[in-house]
Every structure is written in structure tokens, then in C-alpha cells.
Structure 1
């Protein structure tokens, strides 16, 4: 890992990619199962590489690996998880991105039951910390430039992850689930403050929330912290049917406001397309120049 991304964030806004899983689906992949984009990684890694490359061509400088729903003791044997973690980073690297972020999804993502939006895991801090520790170490060793600790659902999980990141000391950013029902304003503020204090954390913020809510959520971050913002396309996830509902809304027009609020990593989450990323890159570039 390198911390070159940290130097860039001190100087300017860096553009993240968009919704990998939904873009894979648009390219014809089946992401309906519990492995989501990791299933495509296993069965057709070239398609994952091509999807990453679409975002790079659109202006993304950072691509986030297809490791969000990979975890030990879940749907796959541990040896296969090890292999796919390494493959996820290698495939992302082959896309031509300037930086590769290894996705670290929450405990709820591996459960594949929508609990990353509730934080209702039925696990205490010791259990969560032990579960996250092995995967964080494997992802840190896989050759990415930064860990993307994303869609964190609760203050407890944020505390657990911050402690493990502090012990690892590798470059990372931490993004809370902006639509989590376990995070009220006070909880979000505490979680972001805790995450920002961990060694190696370059930025904190929110993802997979409605674009219109993003600015208000970022306001909960500690003063002076570099921020990360990558909302979804404005639709609502139905965990029972594993589908998105509602109409998408544009994110690019709001991106300059997030930059003005201190966001230094800006992109999109579920439902956001390469076209959205291209529009974000254009708007953020114009803002940075002015």
C-alpha cells in the first residue's frame, strides 16, 4: 500500500467510481444472489475488469474492488475467500485506475439480508472485531492502495473497525451507511469522530444514501476532517426482493456543494453509472479550478 492518495487529498478533490454491482447488472451480469458482484468476480473476472475500466474511462481515479460481500465463515470456503480477495484487487488494478481501494463491507453485507441498513446484527463488539480482523488483514495484504471501509451501519461497528484500523495503520477511508436506521444524528457524529481518529484514516463520510441528504450528513463529521461522499442514485433498496425501487436522481449537480463542505473523495454508489461519474468529474474539476 502507498499513501500517495493522502497527498492528493490534501491538494484537491479525487473522483471515485460509481455503482459497480448495478453497472455489472447493466452489462448483463446476474447479481441477484448473496455474493452480488463477488459472484461475477468468481465466474467472469474479465467482466469485472471491464466494468472498472468503464468508470476509469469516465474519469474515476479510484476504483473500489468487488470484495464488498466477501467474508470468512459465510457463503464460500475460506480458501476461496482468500483467492477472491486477491483477485478483486488484481482485477481492479488491471482496469488502469490510478488508485485501487479494497472494499471492506459491513458485517451485514456478508449476511446479504439488508442489515447493513439497520445494524441489527445480534453481535457484540468482541465478536464483530474478531470477524472483521481477519478480512481487514487479508485485504490490506492484497496490494490495494487504500482500504474502502464502507456502508458501516452502526456506531458499534464504527468503533470496532476504528480499533482494528488503528492497529493496522494502513491507508483507509471510512464511510457510514447514510440511510442506516441505527444512526441518528448523534450516533453518526460519534461514529465519524471515532473513525477520523484512527491511525491511517484519510477521510470519513457517508455512502449509499440519497443524494439530497448527503450534505446534511456530512455536516456531522468532525471539523477539519477530509470527507468522502458517494451517495446512491436516489432509489430505495428492498432487501426482501433484492431489488432497487423508485426513480433515480442525478448526483453531479450536488457534487460541488459536497466539495465546498470538505469532501475530497466524491463519486457514486448503487445505481450511479459511468455517465454519472463523468458528470461528477466535470463538475468537480470545474469547482477545483475556481
Structure 2
């Protein structure tokens, strides 16, 4: 039986994922230079999070990723927020994404109303994926780009369980295990998904040091084979990587799995985790230029991560659904 991603791909392929949240929040006046990063907006400006989601749906995205990458109960508590309020804020991240989807549907209720690239809205899947960022994101020291942290399987599960439960209870369509640099954490998440959320599915997207290895040094093919063995993992890929790594990474992934391949890289700018700053890359190819190659290589879910915008997603959707 097809899961949520399988059904969506049967209706439209490739599927378009949204782009950066923090970049768009900054454009709306939200200061994300803090340990909570984009999740600070769940406290200060939840309506801005909703508006960003809606803007991406308008741009052609099929999948909105909730603003919960760095939103977990220990992170909120570390900032002086109560456990109960932290739970509420994670639920808020889901509710504003669902509200954005409903607002989009209401605005385009006429079946004859189509996006600029002429894909009819009535046939267009719209999903909300609950972001489950790595433990390294909680550390807020760039560890999601090194994978240099170590917990027991039980401790990883305890860290992720409450956020996943709130995401599931609040109505996400699936989980997004994203920017995963550490294979032990991935194994713990897969175990948690299998044992405690057996009616749910998730995608896994890895953070890479090069096109063939996770940040912790694990072979990408080894990591993919571990994810492939879990029937609850519906797609496997990479995100928050440089665009030039993607084509070769797809080759490593497709050599191991027949599951849908998901890629959503950064825009080509270079991130410096030590200073939390970016160096602009003015000559990087756009997502819309590169995505047809990724489809040809085997990807079927494509979007953008850090520093990408609704304009990038619009161009991407237009390029892939002419």
C-alpha cells in the first residue's frame, strides 16, 4: 500500500519542497541570531511563520516543512521557557503550517485556477512535514555540520520522542528527519519511529562532508542501506549541502535504494559554523538550472534549504513542471 509520499508522487512527480524559513523570517524583521534560530519566531511572530509557509505554497511548493528544526523542549527550557509552553510552541509550528495550507486552498478553491506554470491546483498534493532536526542543532555550535557528538541510543530517543509525539498529535503528514550528520542518531530515530510511531512515515536526509560521506565519516551508501531497511522510511536523500555535491550524492543513493530520493541543498553560499556567517557565492548555478539534472539522476522530491527563497522555489517549480 502506498504511503503519503507514494500517493503524492502518483499524483505529481517530481514533488517540490519549500525553501529556507530563517532567511524569509529575517526579511520580515525577525532576528534569528540566537540559539533557537528560526524557532524564535514561534514565540515572537508565529503569524510570520504562517505567512512564509503560505508564500512557499503560492510559489509552487507541495511540501511545507514545519519550523521545528531547532524547536525542541530542551532548547526552549534552556531559554527559560516552561515545559508546558515549549510543548505549546511546537504545536504552534504545526498549526500555522496547516493554517497556511488551508488559506492557500481557500484562495485557490476554483478548479480552473492554476499556478503560473499551469499545474492545476485541484490535482496538486499539499503536505506538511514535521521537521526533526539533529541533536547537533540543539547544541547550536555547528555540530550538524560535523556529527561530532555522541549519545546512547536511549538518550537519542529520549531527546527526540516528545517533539515527534507533539508533531504527530498536531497533525503533520509525515516526519522529516533532516540534516542528519551522525549515523548513530539516525539509527536511534529509525528505531523510535518503528517502535513508537508504527503508523507514521518519515524521510531521512543526510548532512554530508563530501558527496559520498556523512559528516561523521560514515559512507553515504552505508547510511542509505540502514534507512532503506526500514519500511517506515519513505524517502532518502540529502539536504543543507552545497549544490555541486548533489548529483554525485544521488548516484551513491540510487545504487543502494529504490525508494524516492529527496534533495534540498543550500543556494550555493558557504556557511561558516564557527561564526554563524555566510560567504556569498555570486556565480553558483540556481536550483532551477540544476534540478533537471537531479531529476535525470533519479531525484523525485526537490527543494531548497538555507538561503533559498520563494523566488527560487517558483523558478524551480516552473522549470520542472512546464
2:185 corresponds to: 157
2:59 corresponds to: 58
1:149-203 alpha-carbon deviations (Å, 9 max, x no partner): 100011111211111122213021111113486344x522111221222232210
1:42 corresponds to: 43
2:88 corresponds to: 83
Q: Secondary structure at the match of 2:300?
A: strand
Separation in structure 2 between the aligned mates of residue 196 and residue 84 of structure 1, nearest angstrom: 32
Separation in structure 2 between the aligned mates of residue 271 and residue 93 of structure 1, nearest angstrom: 23
Q: 1:223 aligns with which of 257, 281, 293?
A: 257
2:33 corresponds to: 32
Separation in structure 2 between the aligned mates of residue 84 and residue 179 of structure 1, nearest angstrom: 32
Shift of 1:56: 1.1
1:51-75 alpha-carbon deviations (Å, 9 max, x no partner): 1111111111111110110123233
Whether the 8 Å contact between 2:291 and 2:302 is mirrored in structure 1 is: yes
Shift of 1:10: 4.3
Q: Secondary structure at the match of 1:219?
A: helix
Q: 2:246 aligns with which of 214, 224, 248?
A: 214
With 109-118 and 154-163 compared, the bigger mean Cα shift is at 154-163
Separation in structure 1 between the aligned mates of residue 208 and residue 314 of structure 2, nearest angstrom: 23
1:280 corresponds to: 316
5+ residue gaps, structure 1: none
1:121 aligns with 2:154: no
1:191 aligns with 2:223: yes
With 72-81 and 256-265 compared, the bigger mean Cα shift is at 72-81
Aligned length: 284
Q: Secondary structure at the match of 2:306?
A: coil
Separation in structure 2 between the aligned mates of residue 9 and residue 164 of structure 1, nearest angstrom: 26
Separation in structure 2 between the aligned mates of residue 256 and residue 67 of structure 1, nearest angstrom: 29
TM-score scaled by length of structure 1 = 0.91
Q: Kindly name which structure, 1 or 2, has the bigger radius of gyration based on alpha carbons.
A: 2
1:182 aligns with 2:218: no
Separation in structure 1 between the aligned mates of residue 278 and residue 243 of structure 2, nearest angstrom: 15
Shift of 1:100: 0.7
Which aligned pairs between 1:232-251 and structure 2 lie closer than 5 A? 232-247=266-281, 249=284, 250-251=286-287
Relative distance call for 1:24 and 1:269 in structure 2 (3 A) is same
Shift of 1:212: 1.1
Separation in structure 2 between the aligned mates of residue 141 and residue 174 of structure 1, nearest angstrom: 20
Q: Secondary structure at the match of 1:279?
A: helix
With 276-285 and 121-130 compared, the bigger mean Cα shift is at 121-130
Q: Secondary structure at the match of 1:173?
A: strand
Separation in structure 2 between the aligned mates of residue 194 and residue 136 of structure 1, nearest angstrom: 20
